[in-house]
Amino acid sequence: MDPIQARPAGAPAPRPWRRLRRLLGAAWRDPGQFTQKRLARTCPICGYHGTFISVGRPPRWDSRCLECGSRERHRLTQLWRTEGGGDKLAGRRILHFAPEKIVMRQMRGNPLYETADLRQPGVTHRIDITALPFTAATYDVVMAHHVLEHIDDDRRAIAELFRVLKPGGFGVFSVPLNASRQETYENPAITDPVARTAHFTAPDHRRTYGRDFADRLAEAGFVPEIFRAAPADEVRYALLRDEWITIARKP
């Protein structure tokens, strides 16, 4: 029986060979994840229901959808996007930084969807997020998942994202965040990749955000609000229990 039992509208067709390739790769990288019985999960993006696989170092079990490859933040965003029915991104001009393949596949065919990055090949715009070449009030939506922690001057980047949004538009943001701390931890003097990994969890991270991430958005003029899944949905869709996305609106 096909494990994809209720494919959401617009979901890509199943590709068993891709599922097999992901499964074999996961078994090679982290065989321990298959030594214990695990709960079947559901992907709200593609409709897959079954075992999810690990990603990351150290491995994070039940993180990646075996069918479409989505990770926790993608599934959480999908729940927000479709909350209450419909699609909150439909008909909006979107600028997406550091676009993930799963999201690009979702948005394929949308002429209002544009991608951006300083180095990533194949994007619509090769640009610096701290110095955007667009006039003010160009976009309805800006998206940046796990981008701002890589930027030296994240406040300048946030200000630029605010500038290019139309009034009434919004940003969709997620960042690695330590919910137990109020203040963001950062130290520009730490530049060694090994030291950055020890302090900020990755060699190219500049900080670990605290609960004051929303304050940084508000400083630029945004009105931020948090979207977090219900506890039962965190289990059902294999979400991180300490992660949320921030929807930041421009008045």
pLDDT band at 36 (very low <50, low <70, confident <90, very high): confident
* Token pair belonging to 180: 């137990």
Q: Sheet with 125-126: list strands edge to edge.
A: 125-126, 113-117, 94-97, 139-145, 165-174, 245-249, 223-227
pLDDT value of residue 23: 65
C-alpha span between 206 and 191 (Å, rounded) = 8
Q: For the chain, give every domain's residue range.
A: 16-70, 88-249
pLDDT value of residue 2: 42
C-alpha span between 114 and 90 (Å, rounded) = 14
pLDDT band at 94 (very low <50, low <70, confident <90, very high): very high
Q: Write out pLDDT tens, residues 205-241.
A: 999 999 999 999 999 999 999 999 999 999 999 999 8
The H or E element that residue 143 is part of is: strand 139-145
* Token pair belonging to 176: 């690695």
Q: Write out pLDDT tens, residues 120-179.
A: 999 999 999 999 999 999 999 999 999 999 999 999 999 999 999 999 999 999 999 998
- Tell me which of 3.40.50.300, 1.20.1630.10, 3.30.930.10, 3.40.50.150 is the CATH number of domain 88-249: 3.40.50.150
